[in-house]
Structure 1
Amino acid sequence: MHAPATRWKTRTAKLLRTTALSLLAAAAVAGVGAGPALAADGDVTWTVRTASNSYGATRSSYSYNVNPGGTIEDGMVVANRGTAPLNLTVYAADGFTTESGQLDLLTRDKKSVAIGAWVHANAASVAIQPGKTATVPFKISVPANATPGDYVGGVLTSLTQPDQAEGINVDRRLGIRIKLRVGGELKPALAIEDFDVDYKCTWNPFGRGDATISYKVHNTGNAALSSQQAASVSGPFGLLRTKARDLPKTPELLPGESWQVTVPVKDVSPAIRLAATAGLTPLLTDASGSVTPLDKVEKTTHAWVLPWTLLLLLLVLIAIVVLAIRLGRRNRTARKQREEARVQEAVEQRLREQQQ
């Protein structure tokens, strides 16, 4: 039994001009799918799945290895599960990672430059009667000058329906992911950029505060990568180290993509000079789904931490010491002057007695 495909929905508002918003309705990862796309009134239902051929019979998505200049021919099976005839648009689009870490596909008004431009269906639309299925063949033509590495996109079926009540067009997209690895030298690489650490002190001059580490994970290589994260904050010479807990994996980033990370680190000692360290272990997934951890990437930044309550207490103590020293000197000077006056008075008294 074929795994169901991934569903995307696009809503286009009919105002003074047309605008398009793409919303991902399900996680677009291999082996995870969504149910059939449904119209608002429930009268339109269709499903898509991969065709059974030499590439496999139970695939949940398309995955290929091909050299520059190579071609691939495959197909998508579309089934009309509703009660009315369907006329669906068929097209391909490049993929990208959303701010929520999910895969989405460009809408038709956005220009695709990779898979969306290399995949060509035999027809731009498909008509299917109720209860029937149709196979849509497509061909992938990889340019001879294509850069080696990973590319992700999808082949889609789309149905646009007007919603008179809301004055909008609802574009329902149901598609299947395509992951393509173009032959050549694979250079997986992640970089940690825009690294910073911030520290918030407590009212307690001897208490611990909270640090916040922020950085950007940038896929600088040509392979799709996720990564295991690690982060910590320590004082000078690695003392008083505090580790961040339960850090999730970063989403799989396509070549060139970035992902912003903010890591809270609790109960950090205000050790005057803090060192924040972030580490990434890149995870490379091959066509069979096997995951290989790569060499760890690590970066460290520093920050001065001056707990103002402790600093204020220290200044008060210094002021008390300085005042005590000055008072001590003043008292010693006064005692000395009194002693000298007493001696002088005694001498003068003695001289007067001798004169008499």
Structure 2
Amino acid sequence: MLVAVLALSPFLISLGAVPAAAVDDGTLGIRPELESDFFHINLAPGAAIDANAIVSNHSAEPVTLLNYAVDGQSTPQGAFALAAQADTRTGVGAWVSLGADSITIPANSQLTVPFRLSVPENATPGDYAGGVIIESAAVQGETTSSGGDAALRLDVIQRQGVRIYLTVAGTAVSTLTHGDLGWTRGGESVTFTLPITNTGNTILYPTATLDVSGWIGATATLDFATPESILPGATLDLEATLTPAPFLQAGNAEAALSSEAGDELVGTSFVYAPWWFILVMVLALAALVFGIWRALLFVRRARRAFAQVAVSTSVPAEELAPPS
């Protein structure tokens, strides 16, 4: 049995994982004609613009590539990514028209790829993101086997893209909502998570810090990992890690969230102990309670015994009266 796996260029997973610059891996590249990094376009609803992307082929052979437009996405970790070709397109990916589905670039040369971006009349104001993708045909790799009937072949597809940032004219609304601040302990660290959602229509660039305080355990100030951005409508998780985690902790954690939408504080209690420590404490408390109960029972029985002895040895009142 043969299992074929497609290995994609790193740019497929997240274009935000690399520095904000035009994409060129030394073999193929794509960039705006008139800008150094990405397309930045401002249009009114119903307006359109013509622009050019430059595709470079640095190899000694001509290459034929698919080219298409897609929407942009914010990953759950806060990176920018371009959607897959099969994903539904509702913004920039749907509004960009390319002259052809594929292009051929001669060896060691560049090719201008024109496109038109047309904003619908009913488009809502705000920021949108997407991009133009170039994609090579799959390169079949070697088949390897680890024994038995299973075999593995690694096929490689190279996929690169140039971002398009579009602002549709109108009223800008910058709002950011958040969920509860949560935490989990794993191994020698504690990970704090703060979910945030961009409920406005502008791209936001949030940052956050975390203050940990307690009467037992750690007191520290941490930085949440800073996302590249969060697109309108996107949700992502900000994370901060306390390492090494204290053996015991009892106190509070407070996150200070800041963005173009404003500043907010989000807090939670922060209490934990190892399970075996809790078990030992419960057993110790049970032993203490049992000991106190036994002591009280002993005292009660002793008092009862003393009272019985006092009654049995008491002298009758007539015997204590003086003789007449």
Tell me the residue number matched to 2:179: 193
User: How far 1:178 sits from its partner (Å)?
Assistant: 0.9
Aligned to 1:341: 312
In structure 2, the gaps of 5 or more residues are 144-152
RMSD value, Cα? 3.8
> Which of structures 1 and 2 has the larger relative contact order (alpha carbons within 8 angstroms, sep 6+)?
2
Corresponding residue for residue 94 of structure 2: 117
- In structure 1, the gaps of 5 or more residues are 1-13, 38-44, 53-57, 201-208, 285-293
Paired with 2:77 and 2:253, the residues of 1 have a C-alpha distance of: 26
Q: How does 1:210-289 map to 2 (within 5 A)?
A: 213-232=192-211, 242-265=219-242, 266-267=245-246, 271=250, 275-282=252-259, 284=260
For residues 305 and 103 of structure 1, the distance between their equivalents in structure 2, rounded to whole angstroms, comes to 35
* Partner residue, 1:24: 11
Equivalent position to 1:91, from 51, 68, 71: 68
Partner SS, residue 329 of structure 1 = helix
Aligned-pair identity (%): 28
1:163-212 Cα distance to aligned partner (Å, 9 max, x none) = 16356653322321111122222222222225445679xxxxxxxx9865
Q: Mark the CA change 1:98 to 1:339 in structure 2 (over 3 Å): closer, same or farther.
A: same
| Structure 1 partner of 2:170 | 184
Cα separation, 2, equivalents of 1:185 and 1:144: 16
Q: What one-letter code is carried by the residue in structure 2 that aligns with 1:150?
A: D
Structure 1 residue 312, shift from structure 2 partner: 4.3
| Distance apart, 1:158 and its partner CA | 2.1
Aligned pair count?
302
Per-residue CA shift, 1:315-351, capped at 9, x if unaligned?
433433333233223222222222222224xx49969
Residues 79 and 133, structure 1, Cα contact 8 Å, conserved in 2 = yes
Please point out which of 165, 170, 180 is paired with 2:142.
165
Residue aligned with 1:331, SS: helix
1:326 correspondence with 2:308: no
Q: Distance in 1 between matches of 2:124 and 2:247?
A: 46
1:74-93 deviation digits (Å, cap 9, x = unpaired): 11122332222223222211
1:63 equivalent to 2:67? Answer no
Which of 36, 46, 71 is the equivalent residue of 2:25? 36
> Whole-Å Cα distance in 2 between the matches of residues 98 and 22 of structure 1?
17
Q: Determine helix, strand or coil for the equivalent of 1:245.
A: strand
Letter in 2 for 1:192: H
Number of the residue aligned with 2:160:
174
4+ residue segments displaced more than 6 Å: 18-22, 238-241, 303-307
Relative to the length of structure 1, the TM-score reads 0.70
How has the CA–CA distance of structure 1 residues 329 and 270 changed in structure 2, closer, same or farther, with 3 Å as cutoff? farther
Aligned to 1:287: none
Letter in 1 for 2:116: K
Measured after TM superposition, the shift of residue 116 of structure 1 is 0.8
